[in-house]
Structure 1
Amino acid sequence: MDMGIEGKVAIVTGSARGLGAETARRLALEGARVVVTDINAEGARATAEALRAEGLQAHCVIGDITRAADVDRLVQETLATFGGIHILVNNAGFPRDRYLVKMTEEDWDLVIQVMLKGAFLVTKAVMPTLIAQGWGRVVNISSRAHFGNPTQANYAAAKAGLIGMAKALAQEEGRYGITVNCVAPGFMETEMVQALPTYEQIRDKAIQAQPIKRVGRPQDVADAVVFLASERAGFISGEVLHVTGGRFG
């Protein structure tokens, strides 16, 4: 199926590894020219190089999306390298899990800053280009955690915030041919999750709670993002696509 994104330019934040790296790869396989961006310089460069080794079009920009100057440089370098921007995937984020009474102000601020402020800054920076061309796709990577998880007040708040942001922007920007949606993954078998000391317990608990009895894969999320970023999803906006194996609560 032709997804209609060949030649489009996509920025994927937090794409040095995991869901972001796989999303960048899937977009590139569909013919998009992909900008890999992350604060993890070594990982981002390696991901971009791996994509180019597959014969795909990829460029790497190192930066901190919580800093407006870095975001402006990301946008300008993308425009200079590929001549446009059409797709933004706000993927950057990480957990700092603690019960609220043990959660530090830094734990709260870091998670909110990267996921919410970062998404705000990058989306705001690319929006004039999307509006001017009358076409754009923004996909926020939320999480099943937006329903709430113990020890994740900061993470759940940020992921729920990305949904609220998407719904507001879907109403603001639809007149310009721009859609804004969310993908909300459940348990996904990424390098970050596999490195957790309680990985096996978390995995087994998630599978038990899911109607579909297998672990989620980064490819599952990437496929959902590609669909929402495509021409095929042009009449879908303000929605949340759960990729959870059927688990919601």
Structure 2
Amino acid sequence: MDLGLKNIHVLVTGASGGIGLETVKLYLSLGANVTAHYNSNSKPIQNLQVDFPALQCTQADLSSESAVKCMFDDLSGTPFGPVAVIVVNHGIWSPQDVPIVDMTIEQWDHTISANLTSSFLVCREFLRHLRTATESVKDRAAIVLIGSTSGKYGEANHGDYAISKSGEFYVCPWIWAAMMYGLTTTLKSEIVKVAPRGRVNCIAPGWVPTPMVQEALNDPAVSGPVLAATPLKKLGTPLDVANQIVVVSSSVISGHVTGQVIFVEGGCVGDL
């Protein structure tokens, strides 16, 4: 089936590894023109550019308002043209086990800025550029936010835990709740004022084995409870998540799907 993504300009944030890089590869295989964003590690993207002329990369600190604005201004001037689809996939990882009662305001502010505020900035700038885009671009406009199952289940005694973003990072579950159930549902009602056929959805992965979390999953004390709470008795892969991202971004297949949170977690029933 043709997903209608050929020559569509797609921006994937946090594209250097894990889910982000797999998503970039899948879009390229479907004929999309892809901009892969990174903050500090461009090597995986540059390696792909050798084989894919429809791939370009861009660097930006997405917690900076001016950097996000410059990124979208620059992208609009590339041969790919205005961005039609954004996959908001970036994030940070905090290794400390810190319950809310012990969390500092510095840690709170840093996580909020790097994950939630940056997602707001990316979505806002995308919508601002969408205002002046052609009707063809507007008809295919889509925002795909990447959340986490921790936005649904939380994580007692490990408030900075969640798996998603550019390679599976640990971030606050209430941030994912804000993104999944606040930002997604608000944006799906607002994007249509800019692009009448524009859509906004969220993909929420569970545990996905990547280099970032493989060591933890090698511990039966971690992987055992995860699999026990998962009816399919297996972990997801980056491609499992990327497939759902691509499908929900396609106006051909998912043109009447918006405001939804789609869980990719093997039927997980919570945290044991």
CA distance, structure 2, for counterparts of residue 117 and residue 199 of structure 1 = 33
Cα deviation 1:57-91 (Å, max 9, x = unaligned): 21111110000111112112211222121111111
* C-alpha RMSD over aligned residues: 1.8
C-alpha deviation, 1:248, in angstroms: 4.1
For residue 167 of structure 1, report the CA deviation from its aligned partner: 0.5
C-alpha distance in structure 2 between counterparts of 1:61 and 1:92, whole Å: 13
CA contact (8 A) 1:144 1:248 kept: no
Question: Is contact 1:78–1:85 with CA below 8 Å preserved after alignment?
Answer: yes
Is the CA contact (8 Å cut-off) linking 2:15 and 2:21 kept in structure 1? yes
SS of the residue corresponding to residue 191 of structure 1 reads coil
In structure 2, what is the equivalent of residue 72 of structure 1? 69
Question: Unpaired segments of 5 or more residues in structure 2?
Answer: 161-170
Work out whether 1:237 is the aligned partner of 2:255. Answer: no
Q: Does 1:180 align with 2:200?
A: yes
Q: Name the SS of the counterpart of 1:216 in structure 2.
A: coil
Correspondences of 1:31-180 after superposition (within 5 Å): 31-40=31-40, 43-44=41-42, 46-81=43-78, 82-96=80-94, 97-131=97-131, 132-133=133-134, 134-135=138-139, 136-147=141-152, 148-150=154-156, 151-152=158-159, 155-163=172-180, 164-175=182-193, 176=195, 177-180=197-200
Contact conserved, 1:72 with 1:125, CA < 8 A, in 2?
yes
**Aligned partner of residue 139 in structure 1, secondary structure:** strand
User: Are 2:237 and 1:217 equivalent residues in the alignment?
Assistant: yes
TM-score (norm 2): 0.84
In the alignment, residue 156 of structure 1 is paired with which amino acid? Answer: P
> Superposition pairs for residues 19-34 of structure 1, below 5 Å?
19-34=19-34
Whole-Å Cα distance in 2 between the matches of residues 63 and 9 of structure 1?
18
Quote how far apart the aligned CAs of 1:52 are.
2.0
The runs of 5 or more residues in structure 1 that have no matched partner are none
- Secondary structure at the counterpart of residue 145 of structure 2: strand
Cα drift, residue 50 of structure 1: 2.6
In the TM superposition, what whole-angstrom CA distance separates every residue of 1:73-110 from its partner, at most 9, and x where no partner exists? 21122112221211111111134342122322232222
Identify which range, 161-170 or 97-106, moves more after superposition. Answer: 97-106
Question: Does the 8 Å CA contact 1:130/1:178 hold for their aligned counterparts?
Answer: no
Letter aligned with residue 165 of structure 1: L
Q: Identity of counterpart residues, as a percentage?
A: 29
Structure in which a larger fraction of residues adopt helix: 1
Where 2:91 maps in the other structure, the secondary structure is coil
- Which one is further off, 219-228 or 170-179? 170-179
Task: Tell me, yes or no, if structure 1 residue 247 matches structure 2 residue 268.
Answer: yes
The 8 Å contact of residues 210 and 246 in structure 1, kept in 2 or not, is answered as yes
CA distance in 2, matches of 1:83, 1:220: 29
The one-letter code matched in structure 2 to 1:244 is E
Is the partner of 1:138 in helix, strand or coil? strand
Offset, 1:35: 1.1
Deviation (angstroms), 1:56: 5.0
Following the alignment from structure 1 to structure 2, what is the Cα–Cα distance between the partners of residues 197 and 246?
18
Instruction: Name the SS of the counterpart of 1:73 in structure 2.
Output: helix
Where does residue 227 of structure 1 map in the other structure? Answer: 247
SS at match of 2:203: strand
